[in-house]
Amino acid sequence: MKDKKEKIKYYDLGPLIMPKSVAIVGASYDADKVGHIILRNYLNAGFSGKLFPVNINAVGDLLGLKVYKTVSDIKQKIDLVVVATPASTVPEIISQCGKAGAGGVVVISSGFAEVGNVDLQKQLIENAKKYKLPVIGPNCLGLVDIKSKTDTMYLPSFKLDKPIIGNVSFISQSGAIGSIVLDLIDHEGFGLAKFISYGNADVVDESDILAYLAEDKETKLIIFYLEGVKDGKRFLETIKKYGLKKPIIIIKAGTTAQGATAAHSHTAALAGNSEVYDAIFKQHGLVQAEDLYDLLYFAKIFEMSPLCIGNKVGIITNGGGAGVLMTDAICKNGLELAQLSDKSKDNLRKVMPGIVNITSPLDIGGDADRIRFKNAIDAVAGDGNVDIIVAIVLFQTPGADSSVVAEIVNAKNKTNKPFIVISIGGNYTLAHRSMLESANIPVYESPMAAARALKALIDFSNAKIQKK
Amino acid sequence: MKDKKEKIKYYDLGPLIMPKSVAIVGASYDADKVGHIILRNYLNAGFSGKLFPVNINAVGDLLGLKVYKTVSDIKQKIDLVVVATPASTVPEIISQCGKAGAGGVVVISSGFAEVGNVDLQKQLIENAKKYKLPVIGPNCLGLVDIKSKTDTMYLPSFKLDKPIIGNVSFISQSGAIGSIVLDLIDHEGFGLAKFISYGNADVVDESDILAYLAEDKETKLIIFYLEGVKDGKRFLETIKKYGLKKPIIIIKAGTTAQGATAAHSHTAALAGNSEVYDAIFKQHGLVQAEDLYDLLYFAKIFEMSPLCIGNKVGIITNGGGAGVLMTDAICKNGLELAQLSDKSKDNLRKVMPGIVNITSPLDIGGDADRIRFKNAIDAVAGDGNVDIIVAIVLFQTPGADSSVVAEIVNAKNKTNKPFIVISIGGNYTLAHRSMLESANIPVYESPMAAARALKALIDFSNAKIQKK
């Protein structure tokens, strides 16, 4: 894919990802088969483009649609072909797609290099390259584009919570990890733009997808589950070009020797040396997460907060112990507790009851109500020594209720500093957390997780500034 | 509290924690006041012992009970006196309790050394010591004993999820942290025996409480939020004696310089040097958690699993990527991936479909159903090379449903090795997680958290064996 001048060419994934017409090869009459499920999902989702079921044993309509025996029989423009037939049939289908001038193909089927069928995989690649056809997969879940209602996932929809539309896009080498993260996105309070599960990466690889999403107007930030790259040099050039254009939050699996072996038998990926990955990710501004939850926790702050290079954290809390834990957490992550200016302290002394000690973290007491929260947050948010605002709201206390939520939303709308909330607890707390997140305020349950997310935001912001 | 022979004496907390009669001083006629709320909570909970409301301005019955002007007026045996009156009145009330021969006192009131009222605190201590009276607090939430229906918490009960009865007891220096953890215990699938929030620790200190719970038959393990100890030598002797008797899972707040300062203004605690704490905790078998969630995650595995000195983990997964992440997580925490014996591999080849690669981690495929899970788990659990069983069940996949839960419960009941499940996802997954946890199988959402919990279990088990 590279020419002599080292300028990388990427596949054009636009038609494939936001298709106006979709053929589904392997659209079975059996309601339990993958191809049938995908077709039905398209119909249920209200996809507004054209749908062409393809089944070599076509014997009549399927779910009210005409069925074609092969892709070649369709004779209309096809943006996306989804293939869910046995592995052995796939290379020939790829050729048919190429001849038919399809925009691209997603191969859901597995049974290629990941189980030792290397020759079959080679043939798939050869046929795709012959027609310069972008092929995603095989051995993948395919893709989701919320806006165009494209969804090639064949998983039972009642088993996953559906993400709402948003501006986070998600790339996953693993289908299962893909489904987990999709299932959790709504719970973490943000929305999805596009999801691409790319499996064995035989033709379209991680670099093509990264480049596409980096240029995609609907994608504000990218989250990425990676086991190993196909073409290291190409990947390096790609992240060099795009690493700081948008935040790319990445979890690299197979960072231990045994994990790398496991990754190889999973997607036939060569996991490579983890120190090398660490170094290049850092150099090019990629944000590394160590855990799936951190992937989501980091995405949340990048999605909801402005960039921020300062590391001084102003903490307001209605629980002393939680203030101590948050202070420990930020210090362990290289951030600092902001010390309030004398002016802020004077102002606070005027409005706080005598029992409140005007210091950092600012513990406003277990009986704090919305007025005390408002006064405290106004003072801390307005203080020039404070770069980041952390409000710890323990909703178990008598004064903390949805009126405090309202004050926090008001205060957040008045500031251009990152503003996060820590709230830890059961059902009553979770209800208030949803309110805050629907107002674009990231809420964390764990002080350590929140501090790691803040650190990630600051590191990316600094890298971006330095590059300018 | 120590005699010349260095034998430590501890306060007898039995009557106080499991009282048959309770006086509530500050039982107001105003339904919003703390003393009123505590009295009403006792009545609502169906406390079967005697209740004595005490109010210096007594003018008639309160909630159907006779009100006494002072503790001295009660003239009956009182196991526990709960004090919720202004700080300035507390030392005199302590003396009255001493004279009346009360079993012990919990002082909910704040306004002592934590806000600079050092003299008032000294007087409280003097009066308590004069009568050898165990006093918990001040500046605390008091205590909960599920079995005797003792609950001195004044927080609005609809704001907290109620723990069910269990065998984990919880000590917290901070009231707010106490309320958070209580709120989360049920969500983490285990139950509570006793909760003690001890605030400023003026009389009864952390050593008394630890010693009491270590001897308590209803307490299998102890979780502990600590900011700083009152008497280092006494504490050291206590954990030396009890550290390996039962698991003590501890989170030490104020481990950074700024965190230590914050802890001091919170409970007037001297947080001390964190390296010293680390070293003595380790030496005496205490299990350290770095985050509130780890406190719960560790408690769950200690509560539901046998001890285990081996570190070889057998992983079964229906999602390849999750298997890679779990492998990374255990290796990063010093555990090892178990390699299956040839016999197990032969057996697995007979029962697994050809597409399943018989290796470690054992990826049984995204289409695995209950039969495949059963066969895989039976082989791994029965393998002599495996010390710990980890089943990763991604409930988003077509074959994973509550029939897999049933197979896992059966398999867990047949083995005496620790057996945990990793399941990550939204509502459908959470429903299945509850089923597993109600069968005493610890479920984790994060591979890293699960691996840290396993490491904690192994470390404690090894320390316990070495001591024998």
**Is the residue at B3 inside a domain?**
no
Domain boundary, last residue among B240, B271, B301: B301
**Is the residue at B8 inside a domain?**
no
- Taking each helix axis from N to C end, the angle separating B257-267 and A320-332, rounded to the nearest 10 degrees, works out to 180
**Is the residue at B6 inside a domain?**
no
Min Cα distance A111 → chain B (Å) is 8
* B356 plus B450 within the same structural domain: yes
Question: Which residues of chain A does B259 touch, with a Cβ-Cβ cutoff of 8 Å?
Answer: 324-325, 327-328, 331
**Is the residue at A383 inside a domain?**
yes
* A210 plus A120 within the same structural domain: yes
- The Cα–Cα gap between B370 and B103 comes to 56
Domain boundary, last residue among A274, A302, A330: A302
- The Cα–Cα gap between B367 and B351 comes to 15
Q: Could you check whether the bond before residue B138 is cis, i.e. omega within 30 degrees of 0?
A: yes
> Is the separation of the CB atoms in A198 and A140 below 8 Å?
yes
* B211 plus B340 within the same structural domain: no
Question: Which residues of chain A does B395 touch, with a Cβ-Cβ cutoff of 8 Å?
Answer: 159
CATH number for the domain harbouring residue A376: 3.40.50.261
pLDDT-derived band at B141, boundaries 50, 70, 90: very high
Domain boundary, last residue among B260, B279, B301: B301
What mean pLDDT comes out for the span A212-235? Answer: 94
> What is the per-residue pLDDT across B19-38, written as a single tens digit (0 to 9) for each?
999 999 999 999 989 999 99
What mean pLDDT comes out for the span B404-413? Answer: 97
Question: Which pLDDT score, from 0 to 100, does residue B274 have?
Answer: 80
* B77 plus B180 within the same structural domain: yes
DSSP assignment of B230-266: S-HHHHHHHHHHHTTTS-EEEEE---SHHHHHHHHHH
* B56 plus B143 within the same structural domain: yes
Q: Which of A158-167, B12-21, B272-281, B400-409 has the lowest mean pLDDT?
A: B272-281
> What is the per-residue pLDDT across A276-297, written as a single tens digit (0 to 9) for each?
889 999 999 999 999 999 999 9
| Mean pLDDT taken over chain A | 94
Question: Which residues of chain A does B398 touch, with a Cβ-Cβ cutoff of 8 Å?
Answer: 154-156
For residue A396, give the nearest of B180, B225, B428 by CB distance: B180
| Mean pLDDT taken over chain B | 94
> Is the separation of the CB atoms in B309 and B462 below 8 Å?
yes
Calculate the alpha carbon distances from B236 to A231, B214, B274, B281, B286 in Å.
57, 15, 14, 9, 11
Question: Which pLDDT score, from 0 to 100, does residue B1 have?
Answer: 46
* B285 plus B346 within the same structural domain: no
* A294 plus A311 within the same structural domain: no
* B145 plus B220 within the same structural domain: yes
**Is the residue at B272 inside a domain?**
yes
* B168 plus B119 within the same structural domain: yes
Which range of residues forms the domain containing residue A260? 14-302
Which residue does chain A place closest to B339, by CA atoms? Answer: A258
Q: Please report, for chain A, how many H helices and E strands are present, in that order.
A: 16, 18
Min Cα distance A434 → chain B (Å) is 14
* B433, pLDDT greater than 70: yes
**Is the residue at B4 inside a domain?**
no
What mean pLDDT comes out for the span A79-102? Answer: 98
> What is the per-residue pLDDT across B340-372, written as a single tens digit (0 to 9) for each?
999 999 999 999 998 888 999 999 998 899 999
* B206 plus B252 within the same structural domain: yes
ipTM, 2 dp: 0.91
**DSSP code of B161?**
P
* B149 plus B283 within the same structural domain: yes
* A265, pLDDT greater than 80: no
Overall number of domains in chain A: 2
Looking at per-residue pLDDT, the higher value among A357 and A301 belongs to A301
**Is the residue at A105 inside a domain?**
yes
* A2, pLDDT greater than 70: no
Half-sphere CA count of A200, side-chain side, radius 13 A: 27
**Is the residue at B287 inside a domain?**
yes
Min Cα distance B308 → chain A (Å) is 22
Rg for chain B (alpha carbons), in Å? 25
Question: Which residues of chain B does A251 touch, with a Cβ-Cβ cutoff of 8 Å?
Answer: 325
Question: Which pLDDT score, from 0 to 100, does residue B37 have?
Answer: 94
* A108 plus A234 within the same structural domain: yes
Stated pTM of the model: 0.93
